[in-house]
Structure formats: C-alpha cells, structure tokens
Amino acid sequence: MSTRLLRALGRPKAQRRFEAPEIYGSEAIGRVARALPAVERVYANIRFSILRPKLLSVMDLLLPDEGRILDIGCGFGLFAAYFGQTQPSRRIVGVDPNARRVETARRVCDRLGLEGHSFIAGDARDVVLEGGFDGAYVLDVMHHVPAKDQLPLLERLRDLLAPRGVLVLKDITTEPAFGLKFTELLDRAMVGWDEPLAYRHHREWGEMLASLGFHVRMVRVPDVLPYPHVVIAATKQG
Ligand SMILES: C[S@@+](CC[C@H](N)C(=O)[O-])C[C@H]1O[C@@H](n2cnc3c(N)ncnc32)[C@H](O)[C@@H]1O
C-alpha cells in the first residue's frame, strides 16, 4: 500500500458541523443593531422588520457557507454582519458608493469581532474587484440601478463569480400593483424624487439571468406588509 493511502486511512474524518443556529437569527439581528450608532440603529430595525428572519433564512441557505461572497450595495453592512455571523467561514466583500455607509459597515464588523470581511467604496458597475467569488448577493439594490445598466451589471456579476457560484438577488416584483406602489412610496421617502427607480417583474429578471447563462430558481416570499418580495437564486453554469 502506498504511503499516501496509508496516511489518508489514518486521518480522522473531516470535522463537520451539524448545527442549526437560532432558527430565525434574531440574536444575530439584535447584535448587528446594537453595534450601530443611534440613527443607523433605527434604520437597521426598520430594515430588519422588512427583511424578516424568514426571508433572511431563505437567503442564508442559498448562499455558500464559506468562501468569498460579494455584497453589492452593502449600505451600513447590516447583512454582511448578519451573514458573517450565521456562517463565520464566509469572507464578505461589501461594495457601496456611499463612503460613509462603507465606513460604518467596517466599524460594525469590528465591533462584533467579525474577521475576514472587507468593504469598498465604489460603484458596482465599475469598481475594481478581483473575481472568483463563490457567491454574491444584491438585496434591494437592483431597482436603484438605472434600467439600461441592469443587464450589464448582472453580466459583470456573472463574470465575477467562479463556476457554480450563486447570485442571490432579492428585489421587489411589480405585482400586485398595490404592493409595488406601497414599496415605491417608502423607497421615495428614502431616496427622494430625483433618483430613478427601475423595478422589474420577476419574470423579466429570470429571463435576463437565463440569457446570461445562469440556472435560475425563484420564490415569492409573503409578508404581513404588502411588500411583493421575490428571491432569485441564479447559479453560474460550470
Ligand atoms: C435600499 S439600500 C439597500 C442597502 C442594503 N443592501 C440593505 O438591504 O439594507 C440601496 C443601497 O444600494 C446602494 N447602491 C445604489 N446604486 C449602487 C451601485 N451602482 N453600486 C453599488 N451600490 C449601489 C446605495 O448606496 C444603497 O446603500
């Protein structure tokens, strides 16, 4: 028998963790909120009441549990700090054009003792990034990107992913019309009237992603509020 085989037989089986950390991640959410300054904490509480634990758990299970993961439009780093806590082997790279938010994201991770994450101030359309990401997520950001730039951005994200890498897109679909109006009013309250908001029906996102060679699955996630949430998992084909 070769020495290599003998060594392999003697090696203990790789340690696997079979843990089901807090079903709804409420402790992780609480820690993120407490790590933020007062005003941002109010925002975080609102964001986490919209992106409820049920929705977060769906995305958490779709994302790889380790490796480099891109967070497009990371804002204050709420979800980097959340997904970084639920699976500590993830190394999240957050990108947002708002330098102040990016600085806050860094501080939140520092305060929580989360290591291996980095945050870059820049526009996802052209910021310099090293590719080969195992996963990426875009949470309620695509509709803030001008319509003409959405397909090129998805194409860029595909090129930044490693083969079999998954892109998790959470956005708002356009039906029912009342749900869309409700969301748009709240978005307008946040960004004002000048910024373009470019929502799309989930079928359109699916068609765009499929045209880029992704394997696409999607679910609508009901809410007590009338947000028409949709979560799309797009896997880059090998
Ligand atoms: C509604 S917030 C969502 C923030 C965060 N993903 C969350 O779910 O709380 C939209 C974020 O997208 C960022 N954003 C807008 N256009 C972007 C772009 N072209 N590249 C990267 N981020 C962008 C904004 O600065 C803002 O922080």
CA torsion angle for 174, 178, 183, 185 (degrees, to 10)?
120
Q: Tell which one of 144, 170, 190, 194 to mutate to probe ligand 1, the residue whose CB is within 8 A of the most ligand atoms.
A: 144
Q: CATH assignment of 24-120+132-236? A: 3.40.50.150
Which secondary-structure segment (H or E) carries 62? helix 53-62
Between helix 26-34 and helix 53-62 the angle, nearest 10°, is: 100
Does 47 sit in the ligand 1 pocket, CB within 6 Å? Answer: yes
Task: List the pLDDT tens digit at each of the 238 positions of the chain.
Answer: 555 655 655 655 556 678 777 767 889 999 999 999 999 999 999 999 888 888 999 999 999 999 999 999 999 999 999 999 999 999 999 999 999 999 999 999 999 999 999 999 999 999 999 999 999 999 999 999 999 999 999 999 999 999 999 999 999 999 999 999 999 999 999 999 999 899 999 999 999 999 999 999 999 998 889 999 999 999 999 8
Question: Tens digit of pLDDT for each residue in 34-43?
Answer: 999 999 999 9
Does 195 sit in the ligand 1 pocket, CB within 6 Å? Answer: no
Alpha-carbon gap, residue 93 to 114, rounded angstroms = 13
